[in-house]
Structure 1
């Protein structure tokens, strides 16, 4: 039996407001009090109401605007990616509208604002969607592409790098250099990127007959990574090598290792990062890392999003791109010929 469609009148009854108040809530230029808006949005969520007027306006009125949702720009990787995205979309005649979520899974925080902004598509940088959120966005009819996260939902386009393979290479490479007390500095432990990088790293170690010596949590942030590094190296058996789940944490770790524990990188401790942000190549860091193909990731994501805007029936795609090891001065030199591929 076909499910009865929920109307604005149903929402009005549940929210205890007039039907016109519901219409104003979902009209970008209309005025409505915050109290009324909250009541209407909560009722709409409970009933599963989909304001079709928004989807129609996206078809009949082109705003030439793309919503970009980010969690934090502290990580220079996302600042770099945002710059590239802005240039790509500008070439196509679009401009970006930035929305900042309060957490890596805080898409609900900004969804209402996005809907009222009449954007034509949504680009998500390192924001985690659950299945319900993904289904909700699809129901609204707004094209979405996620970059650098994956979600187990076939209706959402996703562009990411091969995080598992990057972690796998890092594990094998550190063992091949003679390290035995190898630690992992994680980011956000429930994010798809961290789960995949850690899994690849552990498997890479195992393939060389080694195991993870210790681990810490740096939340992909500089300050948290510094504290996690202090705890790791205050141990009676500190690591002799460290793989950090992004470059920002790797750089933080190197500064703590050298300035607070008076150890040398790479003579005493080898460090590998992930991303290859521009500062990783600075001589003061010379960080060995896994390079994500930012230019290609943005280009593919842009193409996907614009294709879905122009042709709403365009099927979503899940694209995984390879990473490239960038060998620099933060890891010790191999003692002989090794195969760590």
Structure 2
């Protein structure tokens, strides 16, 4: 039995109770390793009695491999990224991976975060929208660590891209406004250099050449309020607003409600975060399929692990229009 003065049960404890060698315990808990069925049963019974858990860190140090996958994101307070994290963790777990979540909000923490993930010998990395510069992806790829980008763009050998169909979403919004007889339109987006914002605006502008645009430092609620105020000061005749994120849309919608002259303006967002369906907003929006984004991201990592040198792939996930009361 394990010594009472130890806080963790070791493989040696399991080996003693099961009456087998330490290497037999290791093989039992190593997928694909050779171990006889009687030995496996004795080891599993002893492990269950002792409450033994594999020391993954120790195994990583010995084998040089791990089942850790790094998830690098920024803006933990962003509802869409929170909505995306849950299915990412779920699909990683289904494949036997353990996620290591890194917050890239603080630029001074980028280098320490990089070193920390590398110290765990991560088997792959997922970078989400709003995450840090792509130079981070290059660091991992240089070490033959597969990288998947979600809602980001980069032509990097060894990196795969999973993106929502921004052009489809913008087309759905344009068609909705046209069906409603609205022609004096505007777009509110994050920084114009943002990949998703840029795609959504370009596709919307192609459908609605007369539309005007205003870009903000970020995609948050207050930015949406401020953008609506500034835009309508210059274009008070707008009939519809297409916002690149739901948070921008909710900020803009609250501004309109505070100013009766603009209360008839229709507003459409993008993401379909949980708050979009709240009674206070009932926001019409473009829904991103976060479960499918996560599933394809994990599958891309698996494919890349089998063949790191295969050509980079881009997979596009369809979106859909969710009609509520704001448009």
Q: Shorter-normalised TM-score: what interval?
A: 0.7 to 0.9
Q: 1:58 to 1:238 in 2, by over 3 A?
A: farther
Displacement of 1:108: 5.6
Q: In 1, are the aligned partners of 2:147 and 2:158 still within 8 Å (CA)?
A: no
Contact 1:218–1:228 under 8 Å retained in 2: no
- Per-residue CA deviations over 1:221-254 (Å, capped at 9, x if unaligned) read 1122222122223346252210000111111111
Runs (4+) off by over 6 Å: none
How many angstroms apart in 1 are the aligned matches of 2:206 and 2:112? 36
Aligned partners of 1:218 and 1:182: how far apart in 2? 21
Q: Relative to 1, partners in 2 of residues 1:102 and 1:312: Cα closer, same or farther, differing over 3 Å?
A: same
Contact 1:74/1:221, CA 8 A, preserved across alignment: no
Matches within 5 A, 1:233-252: 233-235=232-234, 237-252=236-251
8 Å Cα contact 2:146-2:158 kept in structure 1: no
Q: Contact (CA 8 Å) 1:288, 1:327: kept in 2 or not?
A: yes
Contact residue 64 and residue 95 of structure 1 kept, 8 A: yes
Q: Equivalences for 1:178-193 in 2 at 5 Å?
A: 178-193=181-196
Bigger shift: 288-297 or 277-286? 277-286
Q: Is the 8 A contact 1:273 1:289 kept in 2?
A: yes
SS in 1 for 2:260: coil
Task: Summarize deviations over 1:294-313 as a string: whole Å, max 9, x none.
Answer: 11111111111123235545
Describe the SS at the equivalent of 2:250: helix
TM score, norm. by length of structure 1: 0.71
Partner of 1:215: 214
Q: 5+ residue gaps in structure 1?
A: 1-56, 332-341
Report how far residue 147 of structure 1 moved: 0.7
Q: Could you list the per-position Cα deviations for residues 119-139 of structure 1 after superposition, in whole angstroms to 9, with x for gaps in the alignment?
A: 111011114676755443321
Assess if the C-alpha contact under 8 Å between 1:69 and 1:125 holds in 2. Answer: yes
Aligned to 1:228: 227
> What is the aligned partner in structure 2 of residue 170 from structure 1?
173
Secondary structure, aligned partner of 1:68? strand
1:201 maps to 2:204: yes
State whether residues 185 and 218 of structure 1, in contact with CA within 8 Å, keep that contact through their aligned partners in structure 2. Answer: no
Match status 1:323 vs 2:314: no
CA separation in 1, counterparts of 2:317 and 2:99?
24
State which drifts further: 71-80 or 164-173. Answer: 164-173
Unaligned stretches of 5+ residues in structure 2: 1-59
Aligned residues: 267
Structure 1 58/77 Cα, relative in aligned 2: closer, same or farther at 3 Å?
Answer: farther
Query: Counterpart of 2:294 in 1: which secondary structure?
Result: helix
Alignment partners' CA distance in 2, 1:59 and 1:145: 27
Identify which of 282, 285, 296 aligns with 1:286. 282
The answer for the alignment partner of 1:262 in structure 2 is 260
CA deviation profile, 1:71-115 (whole Å, cap 9, x unmatched): 1122211101001111111222222111111379x9667323322
> For residue 267 of structure 2, what is the aligned residue in structure 1?
271
**Is residue 129–residue 151 contact of structure 1 (8 Å, CA) maintained in 2?**
no
Change (3 A) 1:192 1:84: same
Query: Secondary structure of the equivalent of 1:219?
Result: coil
Verify the 8 A CA contact 2:73 2:132 in the aligned structure 1: no
RMSD of the TM alignment (CA)?
2.6
Q: What are the residue-to-residue correspondences of 1:302-313 with 2, within 5 Å?
A: 302-313=298-309
Q: Report SS of the residue matched to 1:86.
A: helix
- In 1, Cα distance between the equivalents of 2:212 and 2:308? 49
For residues 68 and 164 of structure 2, the distance between their equivalents in structure 1, rounded to whole angstroms, comes to 26
TM-score by structure 2 length? 0.73
Distance 1:58 1:199 in 2: 48
